[in-house]
Amino acid sequence: MAATEPIDIIELGVGDAQAGLVLSTEAGWNQNEADWRFFLSQGVVFGMRDGARLVATAALLRYSAGNAWISMVLVTADFRRRGIATKLVDACLNVAAERGLTTWLDATPAGATVYGPLGFTPTLQLRRLRLTKPQGAGASRSLSAGHLDALAARDASAMGFDRSTLLSEFSARPGSRIVSDDRTVALVRDGRTARHIGPLLADRADQALALVDAIVRSETGPWLIDAVHSQEEFLSGLVASGWNIERPFQRMCFGPAAISPAQPPFAVAGPEFG
C-alpha cells in the first residue's frame, strides 16, 4: 500500500490476541498471550490493520476510582514514523475523557518524547532489571504462600486505587504464585521470555531484597523485575546481587493526579499494567 494511504482505527477483540502477541514479540517485550487476552477482554484496545495484518495497537485498561492505564502502544517496523502511535494514544485519551478517567502510562525514553507534547507529565521512574541466575551458592529457604486479599490491600495502598481484578487474574494463571516472607508479599508470574516479580510490597528494603533472593533461588529463571527508582537501597541491592539494568521507564499522568498513594511499592506489576 502507499505510504500516504490512511488506515482506519478499529477496536480489537479477544480473537486478536495472537496478532497482538506477534507485535509485542517483534518489539522484544515479555507479554504472553494471557496478557493480551486480559487487555482485550477487560480493556479497550485500538488497532490498525494493513489488509489482514495487524500493524499497530494501543490499549486502555480501566482500574478503580476513575484511573486507567494506557499501554501496549506498538507499531510494526515498516509502519513507524507516520504518527500512528500518536493517533492510537489519542483514541485512548478520547475514550478516557468520555468516561471521566485519569490516565497513566509507563513510557520508554523514546515514548516519553511522544507523550509529553500530548499533555502527560512525569511522576516516578522505574528501572527494568534482568537476572539470568542468582549469584553464589546460598541455599534457598522456604517461602510462605501469600494471600490474594493481603496482596490486593497493600497494592491498593501503594497505588492509591484498587486493582484486585488484575491481581486475581494474575494469581489464577498456571505458574503464578503469591509469596510472602515476614512483612513482604509479591506476585510471581510467567512472561514470554522470563518470569516476572511484581508487584512487590514491603516495609523496608532489606525485607524486599530478602524476598527477591528467596524467590529466585526457589525456581529456575531468567527473571525480570521493574523496580521503583526512588527505592534506592533496593535498586542498589539488586544490582549488587547480579541483576542488570536493561532500561528505564518514566511513569506519566495525563491531567491532575487525584490520588495520594502511601509508600510506593519496591517493584511494580509491569510497565504495561502499572
> Quick one: which H or E segment has residue 9?
strand 9-11
Compute CA distances 245 → 27, 158, 209, 223, 262, whole Å.
18, 23, 16, 12, 26
Q: Are 62 and 24 in contact (CB under 8 A)?
A: no
Do residues 71 and 154 both lie within one domain?
no
Q: How many domains does the chain have?
A: 2
Strands 67-75 and 102-107: parallel
Give the pLDDT confidence score for residue 137 in this predicted structure.
52
Give me the residues of the chain with pLDDT under 50, please. Answer: 1-4
Do residues 163 and 228 both lie within one domain?
yes
User: Cα angle vertex 273, ends 172, 133, to 5°?
Assistant: 75
Give the whole-angstrom CA distance, residue 41 versus residue 59: 11
The residues, ordered by sequence, that sit 6+ positions from 30 with a Cβ below 8 Å of its Cβ are: 191, 192, 193, 194, 196, 224, 270
**pLDDT single digits (tens) 231-240:** 999 999 999 9
Q: How far is CA 110 from the centre of its chain?
A: 17
Give the pLDDT confidence score for residue 257 in this predicted structure.
64
Look up the CATH number of the domain holding residue 216.
Answer: 3.40.630.30
Q: Are 126 and 271 in contact (CB under 8 A)?
A: yes
Q: Residue 31 falls within a domain, yes or no?
A: yes
Q: Residue 264 falls within a domain, yes or no?
A: no
**Domain hosting residue 142, numbered range:** 127-254
User: Cα angle vertex 63, ends 62, 67, to 5°?
Assistant: 85
* pTM for this predicted structure: 0.92
Give the pLDDT confidence score for residue 1 in this predicted structure.
40
Q: Residue 2 falls within a domain, yes or no?
A: no
Do residues 119 and 146 both lie within one domain?
no
